[in-house]
Amino acid sequence: MSLYLEDMLVSDDDIAARAAHRFLSPALHRRVRSVVRAYDPASCHCHDSRICAFCEALADDILLTNYQRIRKAACGDLPQTRAGEVIREWQSMIRSLRDPAGAGAINADHAGGLLAAYAPSTVPAGGARSGKTTSEEEHVWLRPAWAQLVNYPTRMLGIELRRRAAVRRGLPARPMRSLDASPVAGRLRMDPVADSALREFVVGLWAQVADPYDLPETSATHGVSAAQAGEALDRGRALLRRHDLPLDTVLLANPLAERAGPESLSALDGDRLVARPDEHCTTVEQARAEITARISGELTGIAESRHWNSKAPMFSHGPLVSVLRSLVDLAEGSRADPAKVCRGMGGIGEDAARREVSRLAVLLSEAGIAWLDGLLTGLERSEMCGARG
């Protein structure tokens, strides 16, 4: 059944819906898929020309909203600006669709292909065309259709997708609001460069940029070097950790732990460690139980040695805790060398240290860096309290 653009304005809802679907679907599918791939690539499973269920659902929601607006416009209820003025592009578009000798007579499938391929640069200022050619007659109705039915409804889609992805990862949808409401906000205002660096770093983790430690906005805004921006970030992170540890866990520790998972933790490479998931990989509960048991065993051994040596430090810990702490520090961006710590404190050779660190790194990636950091912090605080006592 052949349908035309003017059919979107007829009184028969079924015919109007079919015409709108043929006209808008190709452009919305293409637009939504490109936005999802840019802002939330893990959610896009489109293959070649086939759109995935996730992208199709987003496009269909936009299509339904567009259809409802077109139907209202067909009855004279045109969209308005906040000032109460009718949007001119909608006036122009509806006028063209009503013209039986103009856009209204264009086949809906053909028009859908034109809209999907359209870009504002198709007919630049002055009328000279470049790239894919679009006639002046087509441009009259294509431009407002693309602007109001494709571009405008998807202008905030990327931000919304990033917010949804952040929530799935356990992050707040609006991290800056969380910082503004935190007890650390006042402290950060006293150090504007640290405040800027921390916020840029948080946004980078939130948006999953390639290198969140690169802080160009902070450098440009405050006229500091990359090294100074890095130092400011260290100050900001220290303030957040000191004054709002729960928010530090949510905004920094958890995303950093996610970035330092098994796929980025493998054999030692210079100052970095990457642990390869192998036969040691296990569940979260098992990993945490094994780490806890090994720490407990080490502390028990220390307590027994202290029984025979009264001069031993009351709350000293052994090499295992030190190696685990260096692994956590490494995952959080420091240049720690867990293998060196393991060799120095454990009194073992380089190969054995590498194997031990690799096993611990796999356990750490399963147990969670935030969880282990909290466990080690508790031990360290107990040690400090004991030393003061």
Name the phi and psi angles at 359, rounded to 5: -65, -45
Q: Please compute the mean of the pLDDT values over residues 224-237 and round it to a whole number.
A: 91
Our CA angle for 156, 157, 161, nearest 5°, is 125
Domain boundaries, the chain: 5-159, 170-259, 284-388
Quickly list H helices, the chain: 13-39, 53-74, 88-98, 108-117, 136-146, 152-154, 157-168, 175-180, 185-189, 192-207, 216-222, 226-243, 245-248, 254-259, 284-308, 319-331, 338-346, 350-367, 369-388
Our CA angle for 270, 274, 276, nearest 5°, is 140
Q: Please compute the mean of the pLDDT values over residues 305-315 and round it to a whole number.
A: 45
Asked if the model's pLDDT at residue 316 lies above 60, the reply is no
- The per-residue pLDDT for range 236-274, each reduced to its tens digit, is 988 988 888 888 878 887 777 666 543 333 333 333 333
Q: Please compute the mean of the pLDDT values over residues 59-69 and round it to a whole number.
A: 94
Sequence-separated (6 or more) residues with CB below 8 Å from residue 264: 274
User: Of 198 and 249, which is predicted with more confidence?
Assistant: 198
**Per-position DSSP letters for 179-201, written without gaps between them:** HHTSTTHHHHHTSHHHHHHHHHH
Asked if the model's pLDDT at residue 385 lies above 60, the reply is no
- The per-residue pLDDT for range 92-145, each reduced to its tens digit, is 899 888 888 788 889 999 999 999 988 665 433 333 334 444 566 667 788 899
Asked if the model's pLDDT at residue 345 lies above 70, the reply is no
Asked if the model's pLDDT at residue 308 lies above 50, the reply is no
Residue carrying structure tokens 């490109």? 34
User: Of 206 and 192, which is predicted with more confidence?
Assistant: 192
Q: What is the mean pLDDT of the chain?
A: 78
Sign of CA dihedral 348, 349, 353, 356: negative
- The per-residue pLDDT for range 136-173, each reduced to its tens digit, is 666 778 889 999 999 999 988 988 888 887 777 677 77
Alpha-carbon span 389 to 326, nearest angstrom: 27
Beta bridge partners of 275: 265, 266
Length of the chain: 389
**pLDDT over 90 percentage in the chain:** 31
Name the phi and psi angles at 198, rounded to 5: -65, -45
Q: What is the pLDDT of residue 324?
A: 87
Q: Please compute the mean of the pLDDT values over residues 294-316 and round it to a whole number.
A: 55
**pLDDT over 70 percentage in the chain:** 77
Our CA angle for 322, 361, 287, nearest 5°, is 95
The model's pTM is: 0.53
Helix 192-207 vs helix 157-168: crossing angle, to nearest 10:
90
Q: What is the pLDDT of residue 290?
A: 81
Question: Which of 199, 197, 211, 315 is closest to 259 using CA atoms?
Answer: 211
**Per-position DSSP letters for 61-83, written without gaps between them:** HHHHHHHHHHHHHHTT---B-TT
Q: What is the pLDDT of residue 320?
A: 83
Q: What is the pLDDT of residue 189?
A: 93
Q: How far is CA 13 from CA 7, 19, 59, in A?
A: 10, 10, 20
Q: What is the pLDDT of residue 200?
A: 93
Q: What is the pLDDT of residue 347?
A: 67
Q: What is the pLDDT of residue 269?
A: 35
